[in-house]
């Protein structure tokens, strides 16, 4: 059973403590959800885990390998979808995907792989600037999983998407979990909570375990 | 390397997609600069004419002395550069004065010369436009003074010669003698026109004015062209930069690939504009002294050798766009910075017009360095120091862009 361990991650911006001793683990085939208000540090945590920023302290272990120290292994096993859409607006879906897939594997994935599952063939030649939010998000996920990651870091993947898109992405993530992939998900979205096997609330840089009882008001009260 | 190549090719694709808009903006910019240049040239030419006073000469100018006198006044150093004398009838002179086409006119009454010779009170009438003060009025007064002095001096000289001849019983006709002497004197006047030659040192002390302004216009255009890049750089999501970093494509790699693609765009556009411009210049017979041997070939070589200056200014634009991500602010900032630097670097007024302190500072500005490099290439001298400066500036601008992007990614 592969386990991803995050231990004692700390981050400060000047005197402001953004992350204070963040520790948790993610099992193979499981999803950990991190809830929190705007500016609580969820995105900062994910960007640290993705290697975009450096932590002041702490470790990020996968199968015993320190992913903070080994950027090559990190980029091989991680897939990261930040907030917003990491796409080149002038180019088509095909051109964006070609940055991450070689031609043969791209064709294969479009026919019967993860890209087909995300419904990308339907808009493969559409320029990104003409796509809807849902299309862009699905394409972003398609780009992120090009390296067949073992661990997905998702920062609010369903933000501003309609129910159909959310369902589509949800189906893909369920499938990803079923195939043994692990997910760390930062979210505001109640439907996304159903994906999560374990929940945490981030408040003032501190992570606390949380069990969602289905009552949104209780959840809001905790935030 | 593969990652860099893939990302660079993707950036080239972006540049290609954005090219129609950029080409349109470039055409508009060329049009604007052409209109402004033509308007400035016309204004310069007409103001050049307006700076010269035109004075009409009407009446009896048949007398030799008067004719010679008029010629002398026209050739005088003090008047020849700002006064034109035109002979015409009094009616024509009046109507042109009323129409504002002339500053003044002089009427020499009939028999003036004979009356003057006879010692009678002979007066020349001077008619001017109603100017209480002003340069035209002051100059015309001065000219009248000069003419009076010349006539008086020459009359005095003639009387002196005649008196001398009387004293020494010279048998020659005094009128013939004084005519000959006067003609000799006029030859000296006319001969004086050739005793100097003008050597234009030009705006920077080494290049001719036209050569200097060819470089200046190039640099000015390249600086202002930065605003056309707005479609490539605006509305960029920092999430792409984060995503690329997570995938192992660090900030420097991102910056390098994006900058190179932008430089390819800029260099391609500049070559497409300046090379035909060189051919047009040659066809219009506007040949620079430095391109005398083969204007087209030497001109094109010059344009190609300006690529390092293009690289420098491309890096400058790139850095500014990294600094400001809002579209309107970005375009305004590019425009103001471009125009400001162009002005300070002598692209609009020659550098020699600025105080010494500014002139010393300018070679350290990116635009000033580009001008200096261009001047060196034009003159065919070594530009090693300038190239080193360009490389340093490239490193500085791209390094700063990387720092700014890193900070934006953390936000």
| Residues A143, B243: C-beta atoms closer than 8 Å | yes
| Listed residue (B102, B127, B12) closest to B49, CA to CA | B102
pLDDT of residue A214: 73
Any domain includes A133: no
| Residues B13, A85: C-beta atoms closer than 8 Å | no
Any domain includes A189: yes
Could you tell me the residue range of the domain that residue A32 belongs to?
A: 3-86+148-222
Any domain includes A75: yes
Any domain includes A137: no
Any domain includes A69: yes
Nearest CA in chain A to B244: A86
Bridge partners, A3 (sequence order): A27
Any domain includes A120: no
Any domain includes A43: yes
Chain B: give the shortest CA distance to residue A213, in Å.
Answer: 33
Question: Total structural domains in chain A?
Answer: 1
Any domain includes A207: yes
Question: pLDDT by residue (tens digit) across B185-238?
Answer: 666 665 555 444 444 444 455 677 788 888 999 999 999 999 988 888 876 778
Chain A contacts of B239, Cβ < 8 Å?
82-86
Confidence category of residue B42, pLDDT binned at 50, 70, 90: low
Domain ranges across chain B? 7-39+203-410, 52-194
Edge-first strand listing for the sheet containing A78-81:
A78-81, A151-155, A182-187, A31-35, A198-203, A206-210
CATH of the domain at A165: 3.40.50.300
| Residues B6, A99: C-beta atoms closer than 8 Å | yes
Question: pLDDT by residue (tens digit) across A91-112?
Answer: 999 999 999 999 999 999 999 9
Does B163 contact chain A (CB < 8 Å)?
Answer: no
By the 8 A CB rule, do A209 and A45 touch?
Answer: no
Torsion of CA A194, A197, A201, A207, to 10 degrees: -160
Lowest-confidence region among B40-49, B171-180, B263-272:
B40-49
Chain A contacts of B10, Cβ < 8 Å?
88, 91, 95-96, 98-99
CA-to-CA distance for B95 and B89, rounded, in angstroms?
10
Q: For residue B65, how many C-alpha atoms fall within 13 Å in the half-sphere facing its CB?
A: 23
Domain B52-194 belongs in CATH node 3.30.160: no
Structure tokens that stand for A28 in this block:
């193979």
Chain B contacts of A88, Cβ < 8 Å?
10, 14, 240
Does B121 contact chain A (CB < 8 Å)?
Answer: no
Does B14 contact chain A (CB < 8 Å)?
Answer: yes
CA-to-CA distance for B23 and B261, rounded, in angstroms?
16
| Residues A52, B13: C-beta atoms closer than 8 Å | no
| ipTM of this complex | 0.90
How far, in Å, are A36, A162, B113 from residue A189 at the CA level?
A: 11, 12, 109
Nearest CA in chain B to A72: B248
Give me the phi and psi of B206, to 5 degrees please. -135, -30
| A-B contacts at Cβ under 8 angstroms | 70
More confident residue, B365 or B132: B365
């Amino acid at each position: 059973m592969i386990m991803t361990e995050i231990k004692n991650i700390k981050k400060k911006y000047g005197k402001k403590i953004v992350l204070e001793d963040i520790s948790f683990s993610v099992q193979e085939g499981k999803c950990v959800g991190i809830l929190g208000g705007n500016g609580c540090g969820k995105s900062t945590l994910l960007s640290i885990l993705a290697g975009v920023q450096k932590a002041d302290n702490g470790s990020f272990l996968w199968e015993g390998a320190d992913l903070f120290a080994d950027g090559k292994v990190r980029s091989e096993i991680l897939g990261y979808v930040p907030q917003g859409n990491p796409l080149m607006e002038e180019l088509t879906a095909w051109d964006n995907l070609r940055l991450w897939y070689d031609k043969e594997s791209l064709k294969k994935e479009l026919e019967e792989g993860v890209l087909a599952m995300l419904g990308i063939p339907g808009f493969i030649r559409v320029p990104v600037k003409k796509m809807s939010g849902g299309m862009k998000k699905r394409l972003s996920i398609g780009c992120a999983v090009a390296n067949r990651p073992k661990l997905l870091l998702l920062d609010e993947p369903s933000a501003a998407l309609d129910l159909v898109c959310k369902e589509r992405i949800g189906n893909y993530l369920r499938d990803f979990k079923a195939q043994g992939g692990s997910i760390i998900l930062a979210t505001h979205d109640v439907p996304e909570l159903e994906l999560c096997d374990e929940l945490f609330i981030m408040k003032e840089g501190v992570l606390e375990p949380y069990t969602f009882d289905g009552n949104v008001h209780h959840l809001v009260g905790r935030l | 390397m593969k990652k860099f190549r893939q990302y660079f090719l993707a950036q080239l694709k972006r540049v290609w997609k954005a090219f129609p808009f950029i080409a349109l903006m470039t055409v508009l910019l060329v049009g604007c600069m052409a209109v402004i240049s033509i308007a400035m040239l016309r204004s310069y030419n007409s103001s050049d004419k307006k700076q010269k006073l035109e004075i009409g000469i009407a009446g009896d100018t048949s007398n030799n002395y008067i004719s010679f006198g008029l010629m002398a006044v026209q050739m005088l150093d003090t008047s020849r550069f700002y006064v034109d004398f035109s002979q015409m009838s009094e009616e024509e002179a009046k109507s042109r004065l009323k129409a504002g086409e002339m500053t003044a006119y002089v009427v020499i009454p009939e028999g003036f010369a004979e009356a003057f010779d006879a010692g009678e009170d002979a007066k020349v009438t001077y008619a001017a436009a109603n100017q209480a003060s002003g340069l035209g009025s002051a100059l015309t007064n001065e000219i009248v003074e000069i003419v009076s002095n010349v006539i008086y001096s020459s009359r005095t000289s003639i009387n002196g010669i005649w008196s001398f001849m009387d004293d020494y019983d010279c048998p020659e006709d005094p009128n013939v003698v004084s005519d000959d002497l006067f003609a000799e004197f006029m030859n000296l006047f006319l001969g004086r026109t050739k005793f100097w030659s003008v050597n234009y040192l030009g705006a920077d002390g080494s290049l001719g004015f036209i050569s200097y302004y060819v470089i200046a216009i190039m640099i000015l255009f390249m600086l202002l062209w930065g605003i056309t890049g707005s479609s490539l750089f605006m509305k960029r999501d920092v999430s792409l930069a984060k995503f690329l970093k997570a995938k192992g494509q660090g900030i420097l790699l991102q910056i390098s690939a994006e900058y190179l693609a932008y430089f390819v765009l800029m260099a391609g556009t500049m070559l497409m504009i300046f090379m035909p411009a060189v051919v047009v210049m040659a066809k219009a017979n506007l040949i620079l002294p430095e391109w005398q041997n083969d204007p087209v070939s030497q001109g094109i070589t010059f344009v190609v050798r300006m690529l390092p200056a293009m690289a420098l200014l491309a890096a400058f634009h790139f850095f500014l766009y990294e600094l400001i991500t809002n579209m309107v602010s970005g375009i305004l900032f590019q425009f103001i910075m471009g125009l400001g630097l162009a002005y300070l670097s002598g692209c609009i007024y020659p550098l020699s017009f600025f105080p010494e302190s500014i002139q010393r500072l300018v070679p350290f500005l990116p635009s000033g360095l580009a001008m200096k490099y261009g001047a060196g290439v034009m003159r065919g001298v070594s530009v090693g120091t300038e190239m080193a400066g360009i490389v340093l500036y490239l490193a500085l601008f791209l390094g700063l862009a990387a720092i700014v992007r890193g900070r934006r990614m953390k936000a």
